[in-house]
Structure 1
Amino acid sequence: MASVNRFIQFNNESIDTNLLHSMEMLAGALSDAPYLKVTTRKLVEFRPSEAAISISVFWRHRPREIERAGYKSDIFLMAAGYWRDFSLQAWRRIKSTQSSLPELKQQLLLCAEEFRLSEKVSTERPGTKHAFSIREKVYTGYHKDQFRQNRQKGFQADAFLNAAYLRLQGTELAGTEAWEPLFLLWSRMYDARSTEDSAYVVESMMGRLEFLMDEDMVHSYYTFGEEQEEAAPFRYHEGMEAEDSGSEEKMDTIEEWFQSWHRETETSESAAMEFELERGDSGYAEGGREAQGAGEVEYTAQGDSDGEHREGNDAEDEQREGTPKQAGKKFGSANSHVVYTESRIVASGDSKALIDAWRRKQAPHVRALLQELKKRMSLRRTGVRTNLNAGRLSRNLLPLVLEERPKPFYRKTAPSKELDAVFCLLIDGSASMIDKLDETKQAVLLFHDVLRGLGVPHEIVLFYEDAYEASDAMQPNYFQWMHKLEDGSRDHSAQIVAMEAHEDNRDGFAIRWMSDRLHKRPEKHRFLLVFSDGEPSAYNYAENGVVDTADAVAEARRGNIEVLHLFLSSHPITDEQASFYRMMYGNKSVSADSLEQFVEQTLRLLKRTLHLVIQTG
């Protein structure tokens, strides 16, 4: 797991996941495309193969009001403007027409369309005017500065684009007199009503521009994103009928372009996947089985049932452990290529002396906490609240006669023989945990002993990703149980001591996997604790891993699962690190500033959550 303390400070960028999530919700609402994701890139882009649009990092490191307004203007422009009012046919024509200045031609069209669509959206949606006014003010200053630099360096095409943007905003620059005939044509953009109109204006200027300029643009101020195709590449498989293979589809809007990719992705991940799994084909990565389709079924699925639990199911579950399973879209789009394996950690035989030593050290803490909690539980079972305005009528009715405002009612605290709670502990199994393993094992052992002493069902799982086998097509992940919910109060201290550090960690996927298990539990209070020593780090899981983890935490909390995070560090936590983890876990993230504090912080987490369970029943 990579630390948030990166090598170069200016590369130590962190994403405001709450802001990104709100931008995603806004984009989905404006475009009526709930599947749409929002990412960050250098320039705004359309990426239908990822079902994503990208907002520009141009707005970073600015005052918060400007940053938020800038991101919003990106979303307004793409999801309410380009989405349905940009003609792909006109864009294809501009790109296919031969020119000695292809970059200038394309960027001029995108500049013209940004102006046209900004005006259109702000007129139709007056609430967007504030964001667009801030956008224009910031970009006006930016293009003025760029114009001066490009003129000094002799980048005439770049300077012309800067001047063209400023002319649309009503700003005239000194030294552009030779371009006035071009700007006269450019002024027709004020009357443009479609992409075809914008393309006509640009094409009318290109002949003179090609005569005046010898070199194309050096910088990119606008970009479209992925290369536009007629439709998403169709994935045919043997399990389909011939008529299902589809036909070529003509699209003229970005909305249709994204929908074709979305439909094709849905199809390929349903029927095609089912057919391949039934046949046992494995095409996940190079270096796989040589004779594809010749083996047995490689993946098996297990359905959920609300019926009665059959005897012998536990044995079947044991047999299914170790069988790889495909994550699909169940655990988030960032984890669609994950293949995960569940198994139990095998206990080592020479750990008894070490376990006994740790337990002797922790005994006073465990004993004190158990006594305190059991005392609180006993008081709650026998407690009676008197002098109430409502409830059961007391046998002592004298207050009705003697007191002006009598309160002759009482209530008994609802009896509770057991704590109606379940706890699950996820432990980061990445390589960076290797220097913290002993302290982590002691903290986990304390967690295990306290909950066993109270008879509270709990689960302890180590999670990691195999970095050496991960590829674009498959990311192998592993969950290793030290103690399962079904194990009751059995002692699995030997399995806790046997856990080891591995490679990477895919936190969002692990949280969703554990949340899925917790959703099936009947307990009123459900807690998910995450022990980790850094940020998510896995294959193709850098920037989107932070967002995916924050989304997984939010989804769990919406499902009435309380997610708590303990950051394990051998050094005092910095403000930057604290802010980073609050971004993913909210105010439910605490840190251990030294190795010696792991057990102490675990004890505090348990005490706080168990007190809450007892208090609320």
Structure 2
Amino acid sequence: MVKLNRFIQFNDETIDANMLLLYEKLGRALAEAPYLNMTERKLFEFEPISGNVSLSVFWRHRTESITHAGRLSDVYLLTVGFWKHFSVKQWLDFRKTYSSHPLRKFAEELLLMLEEFRLMDVVVKQRPGTAQAFSVRRKLMLQFHYDLLKSNFQKGFLADALINHLYITLHEGILSDLQVDWHLPIEHIQRIAIFASDAHSTSEMSDLTKRIIFMVEEILEQDLVLQYYAVGDSVSDKTAAFHYHDGMEDAEKGEEGIKETIEEIFRTWHRETEDESGVHLEYEIEHGRSGKSEGGEAAEGNDNAQIDQIGKGSSTGDENQKRQQMVEERKDDNKEYDRKKAGVKFGKENANVVYIEELVEVQSDEKNRYKLQQWREQQKPFVRSFVEEIKKRIEMKEDSRRTGLMKGRLSSNLLTMAVDERPRPFYRKNSPAKNLDAVFGLLVDGSASMMDKLDETKEAVLLFHDVLRQLSVRHEISSYYEDAEQATKDVQPNVFGLMHTFEDVQKDDGMTILSFETNEDNRDGFAIRWMADRLVKRMEKHKFLLVFSDGEPSAFGYDRNGILDTREAVMEVEKKGISVIHLFLSTDNPTDDQRNLFSMMFGNKSAASDSVEDFSDQTLRILRKLLSIVINQ
């Protein structure tokens, strides 16, 4: 779906998907947690329930080297420092102590600032290679706090100004000339803060924070106005304690109590999320842990379990027949019967997707029949010349022969036997190929934004279908969209409209293609994985997945994350030996921002048309290039 131009440019920005995936892989390796997801938010923080760690937007709009070093420092702090060396119990005790204090936010953020200072040194000692990134971080953050200090002081935000002052004190010492006339025992406060250099635990930092609060709580009249740290916001009693499915009250022994580290919290939430997924919980039956089963031969639940047996009752009569009839009626009347659950198999962003695969209903009216005849007459010369060109190239490849071999047919030129020290007088003809050893999958964006270019898109898809059909190349064509009206946080219904399948072989589905209509949203990463799952089962050597769309993905809860999910899907599919090619369908020339966006999602395999009339030409160019690869290999 084409993105609207937003008034606030910042809201329209996206992080480079490739770089974010790089930070995600680094974070997973450092934390030894392959389930971690990397996102970007206002401040760097943890989100245990969703399994996310978030980088800060603070590092945007700087030179590339500074942005990279700053984000690396966030990754190091999150996945090495706070991950294992931040005491969750001490933090929760501290928050409880100051939960009703007038300077609650100041107290919490001061402790987190002191912990950041301590953990930077912990990380550098463990991994000296991180020192450079932290050096950049200190320099930028010091400038940030210097700039805010005077501003906050002049506005009367004394708690904020004190946070700025103490940050500078921690990293530059108490001799810094800050030119601020404090009405606080600032020198004494600074000397207390300097003891942070000798602290070795969250508990010791907590004691230092309490001493500073004791000295300022009678003087500061207002709590923090700005927020500087969010890393502890999501570490609450709810997330830190072992949690159960809704309705559970009793816990097994050994699973109660507060977790010691953020690492343990994340692993607990991840394990519970895994336990509550799969076929064995398809109907959300409440599960229990406190009771023991009477049987000793129960099988453990399996996420990949398949139904392999059907039991029949011993009743007589026509009840089974009636039931089967009811099932068939329900299948015809209710599409939900055919819904499949995507789960994590199709990407973490699509865990709540349910989808159906349905044949596009053919609208064989006079208008469509006329269009089909007219378009095929217009395309006929192009299809004929293209098919003849490809067939000639195949014949040339078959007629060519490999010479200079150690064995094979004896060549008529035997001079090499007398001249060469190691003669190779043999040759072989290439084995003729009956068909091109290739298979294609085509995904067509079915979102509402395609409406103004629907006919031109159908023409391009029809051309694609006719060319491959005449070349006897297996292919599948499907539209994809999400039902925006029915989508919720827990369930996002998606539909694949099949226009031509691999099993249809050379069947003429021109009328089906013309019956395709637009719908609502598009979830590209999910659709790419779905088509790849079908392609990977094919036996052909060359597998190609084409995506025809008119912009970035847009679906429920899939805004910024959709770009990253699509890029991740493309990378996953490429690793399986499937080439992903994108064609941007638009009524206007793509802007530089759009080209950068497509490059971010699809790499260098993204093409764009200058106008709607150019869709078919671009389709032929893509097919020519891809089939050339097949012929030459």
Q: Same fold (TM over 0.5)?
A: yes
Aligned partner letter, 1:158: D
* Correspondent of 2:342 among 314, 317, 327: 327
Is 1:259 aligned with 2:261?
A: no
Check whether the contact 2:353–2:494 (CA below 8 A) recurs between aligned residues: yes
Give per-residue Cα distances to partners, 1:199-239, cap 9 Å, x unaligned: 0110111111102211001000111231422325311579x
Q: Deviations over 1:349-407 (max 9, x none)?
A: 21222101000000111001100111111222222133x25453524353135645755
1:138 alignment counterpart = 140
Question: Which residue number in structure 2 is paired with residue 339 of structure 1?
Answer: 354
**Alignment match, 2:414:** 398
Percentage of identical aligned residues:
45
Query: What's the CA shift string for 1:513-536, capped at 9, x where partnerless?
Result: 111111111111110000000100
- Checking the alignment, whether the CA contact within 8 Å between 2:95 and 2:108 is kept in structure 1 is yes
The alignment yields a C-alpha RMSD, in angstroms, of 2.4
SS in 2 for 1:596: helix
Post-superposition Cα deviations, 1:469-511, rounded to whole Å, max 9, x if no partner, equal: 1111111100010001111100111110011111100000101
Residue type at the aligned position of 2:29: A
Name which of 530, 534, 545 aligns with 2:562. 545
Q: Where in structure 2 are the equivalents of 1:363-442 lying within 5 Å?
A: 363-386=380-403, 388=404, 390-392=406-408, 394-396=410-412, 398-400=414-416, 403=419, 407-442=424-459
The answer for the alignment partner of 2:201 in structure 1 is: 194
Structure 1 CA distance for aligned equivalents of residues 286 and 408 of structure 2: 63
* Counterpart for residue 268 of structure 1: 276
Aligned 1:284-299 pairs, distance under 5 A? none
* Deviation, structure 1 residue 176: 5.5
Separation (CA, whole Å) in 2 of partners of 1:211 and 1:27: 42
Q: Tell me which residue corresponds to 1:294.
A: none
Secondary structure of 1:14's match?
coil
Change (3 A) 1:339 1:579: same
Deviation at 1:86, TM superposition (A): 0.1
The equivalent position to 2:257 in structure 1, one of 237, 249, 253, is: 249
Confirm or deny that 1:509 pairs with 2:526: yes
Q: How does 1:413-492 map to 2 (within 5 A)?
A: 413-492=430-509
Partner of 1:154: 156
Q: Could you say if the C-alpha distance between residues 4 and 63 of structure 1 is closer, same or farther in structure 2, counting changes exceeding 3 Å?
A: farther
**Alpha-carbon deviation of 1:419?**
0.8
**Contact residue 399 and residue 407 of structure 1 kept, 8 A:** no
User: In the alignment, is the contact (CA less than 8 A) between 2:460 and 2:615 conserved in 1?
Assistant: yes
- Residues 4 and 535 of structure 1 are in contact (CA less than 8 Å); yes or no, is this contact kept in structure 2? no
For residues 530 and 244 of structure 1, the distance between their equivalents in structure 2, rounded to whole angstroms, comes to: 49
Distance, in Å, in 2 between the alignment partners of 1:574 and 1:243 is 57
Of 188, 207, 211, 1:204 maps to 211
Q: Distance in 2 between matches of 1:519 and 1:540?
A: 28
Moved more, 140-149 or 224-233: 224-233
Answer whether contact 1:557 1:563 (CA < 8 A) is retained. yes
Q: Structure 2 stretches of 5 or more lacking a match?
A: 288-302, 309-327
1:120 maps to amino acid: V
CA gap 1:117/1:246 in 2 versus in 1, 3 angstroms: closer
Question: Can you give the 5+ residue segments of structure 1 that lack an aligned partner in the other structure?
Answer: 280-299, 306-315
CA distance in 1, matches of 2:608, 2:567: 18
Q: In the aligned structure 1, how far is the partner of 2:417 from the partner of 2:466? A: 54
Q: Please give the secondary structure, in 2, of the residue aligned with 1:504.
A: coil
User: Is structure 2 residue 199 aligned with structure 1 residue 184?
Assistant: no
Distance 1:364 1:543 in 2: 43
Distance 1:591 1:304, change over 3 A: farther
Pair 510,401 (structure 1): closer, same or farther in 2 beyond 3 Å = closer
Report the residue type matching 1:425 in the other structure.
L
Name whichever of 218-227 and 82-91 sits farther off: 218-227
| Aligned residue identity for 1:231 | A
1:13 equivalent in structure 2: 13
Is the 1:15–1:546 contact (alpha carbons within 8 Å) kept by the matching residues of 2?
no
Q: Distance in 1 between matches of 2:462 and 2:190?
A: 74
Query: Which residue in 1 is equivalent to 2:324?
Result: none
Q: Distance in 2 between matches of 1:452 and 1:278?
A: 51
Question: In 1, distance between residues paired with 2:464 and 2:82?
Answer: 53
Q: TM-score of the superposition, structure 2-length normalised?
A: 0.88
Separation in 2 of the partners of 1:390 and 1:378?
Answer: 25
Taking the aligned partners of 1:135 and 1:469, their CA distance within structure 2 comes to 45
Structure 2: distance between partners of 1:202 and 1:245: 35
Structure 1: distance between partners of 2:210 and 2:146:
25
Inter-partner Cα distance in structure 2 for 1:243 and 1:102: 33
- What residue number does 1:291 align with? none
Amino acid at match of 1:73: S
Change (3 A) 1:273 1:566: same
Alignment check: 8 A CA contact 2:525 2:568 kept: yes
Number of corresponding residues: 581
Q: CA deviation at 1:272?
A: 6.3
Equivalence for 2:77 = 77
Shift of 1:124: 1.5
Which position in structure 1 is the counterpart of 2:57? 57
- CA distance in 2: counterparts of 1:113 and 1:517, whole angstroms: 50
Q: Deviations over 1:293-343 (max 9, x none)?
A: xxxxxxx999599xxxxxxxxxx9xx8987011111111111111111110
Paired with 1:485 and 1:271, the residues of 2 have a C-alpha distance of 28
